[in-house]
Amino acid sequence: MCGICCSVSFSAECFSKGWKEDLRYNLERRGPNSSKQLLKSNTNYQCLFSGHVLHLRGVLTAQPVEDERGNVFLWNGEVFSGIKVEAKENDTQIMFNYLSSCENESDVLSLFSQVQGPWSFIYYQASSHHLWFGRDFFGRRSLLWHFSNLGKSFCLSSVGTQTSGATSQWQEVPASGIFKIDLKSTSISKSVVLKLYPWKCTSRENVIKECVNSLTQISANLQTFVSVIANEAKLCLEEPVVPLNMMLPQAPFEIHCRNISCLPPTRETLEVFLTDGRRKEIVHQFIDVLSIAVKRRVLNLPRDENLTPSEVSKTCDRKANVAILFSGGIDSMVIATLADRHIPLDEPIDLLNVAFMTKEKTIPTSFNKKSGKQENRCEIPSEESSKNVAPAAAASPDKQFRVPDRITGRAGLKELQAANPSRTWNFVEINVSLEELQNFRTTRICHLIQPLDTVLDDSIGCAVWFASRGIGRLVTQDGVRSYQSTAKAVLTGIGADEQLAGYSRHRVRFQTHGLEGLNKELEMELGRISSRNLGRDDRVIGDHGKEARFPFLDESVVSFLNSLPVWEKANLTLPRGIGEKLILRLAAVELGLTACALLPKRAMQFGSRIAKMEKNNEKASDKCGRLQVISLENLSIEKETKT
């Protein structure tokens, strides 16, 4: 994880005004281990490169990096596969070495087509005055652009700034491919021309039509002096995943499912599916590919390898290197179970569980009555108050923070402890008051969520920010103590619902348009996940100097799931809690998990109860007034006016 930025100016006046200290501060929060700036001046333009590194693998490599020919590289990514990076090597330097040896455009595109893992980058080719930049296929790393002064300057950055009245000027770079700008040409014409090298699937038809549509859509959101064109050679990047299997069953699906659609949502029902040898084989293939994806994301981390045996035995003193956004739901439970396979046994795992303060009314243990399941099988442990507990959790924490995700989280903790009692599982109860939410939303979270601006973005963005911050308390047999997670890698389950029909809208689509409609909905989900979720979540988690990692969006996992017909992944003729994400529920059963395999999908904003804290009559798609930024300058003017 890094904070990367390139500010380009075509006049000295714009350059002096273009760089803001608050932008540098926001970037430094993402990369606390190294900060460096590099200025490249030309008679026609000036480029200020700023790199801020969170060190996670190999030798600490300060950014930006520059070679003997004046080429400059900024990299915010992880190479998990596709290009060989040894355990002791740093992927920034490896990628730059390859880029420096590229002789033409095709070589650059070939390189990025091979990389498997999340990335965003900025690359300056000195001899040609070209600036390359882009995001990976899913957009798992944030990159924003900001064009100003009628083409006199522009900026690329991992994160934006809190600017009153100009929030819309920061926009996410579309994950449509790689872009290139000719800086010398731009300085003369005073208009910015972006050349796009789009992603292309070799087996897909109408590639040219798709590219034209993409260009039109991108251009529509930009200022008039910025244009997007296709590269003259019609070169493309190769998509890193296979296309979605849109196959439909030969017999009507209702007939196909006649014998199972009336089955109750129980573990026994899931076990019936596993009596089919072919289905069981597919489930195990899914477990294997997901396990490898988790392994890649938990092993490439700096660890204390020189500890003495006596130090190793003191597991309570060891720090967790990996944390999981943990609700106790099926996504986070499966990730935790697989992480347990690969993380050294003497190393704790942090389970980050966030809850927002509820009003006086408490939530019954069996809160999910509609599904007919009893969720009171797991007793809630009694908790003693402690002087060390954070202020937000001090008064009756059980009553004020007994939200659905806290209940299922504690139940999930017991299940994990039973499965591996030798592991130290740090269940971090992160309790957030209304005052704390409003304070940090204004001072930190607001600009991280932007340029997204809906009520849903506010709810999820704030919940993920507090959860990934990892400041809370541990409730153990010895009592309650305050705790702050130091884990730099944060695993999240995003991508499971989008691929496995986990949302209620998928069920509605299936009921109205059948499997064909469901296929189209799932195809759309992956197509928009970069703009809808991932840039925001990367900015929010990265603000703590931590890196978001998405096992369900590993290229191999997505390719495996894309290769399956939709009915192998979900069966929405079955009720909630079993039909959606069916293949994942079967995987959970095979992994030995019990209660979580039958939990229905519950969105984070409802499970954590953040959606109920302020306004109950909002729609998720409404523009959120709480995200509107008021500058300090405007606040001082308002105060002067009142006095």
Query: Which tokens go with 230?
Result: 């296709």
Residue 175 · residue 120 · CB < 8 Å: no
8 Å CB contact between 605 and 456: yes
Would you give the end-to-end CA distance of the chain in angstroms?
46
Distances (CA, A) of 579 to 165, 509, 576: 46, 14, 6
Q: Catalytic annotation on 446?
A: no
Beta-carbon-side half-sphere exposure of residue 167 (alpha carbons within 13 Å) = 17
Distance (Å, whole) CA 349 – CA 333:
13
* Catalytic option among 2, 6, 47, 596: 2
Euclidean distance between CA atoms 414 and 378, whole angstroms: 8
Indicate the helix (H) or strand (E) that contains 133: strand 130-135
Strand partners, 481: 474
- Residue 390: count of CB within 10 angstroms of its CB: 19
The CA distance from 428 to 510, in Å, is 38
The per-residue DSSP string of 14-53 comes to HHHHH--HHHHHHHHHH-TTEEEEEEEE-SS-EEEEEEEE
Distances (CA, A) of 381 to 372, 407, 427: 24, 10, 13
The contacts of residue 630 (CB under 8 Å, 6+ apart) are 164
Dig out the tokens for 369 from the structure.
Answer: 């009555």
Active site residues: 2
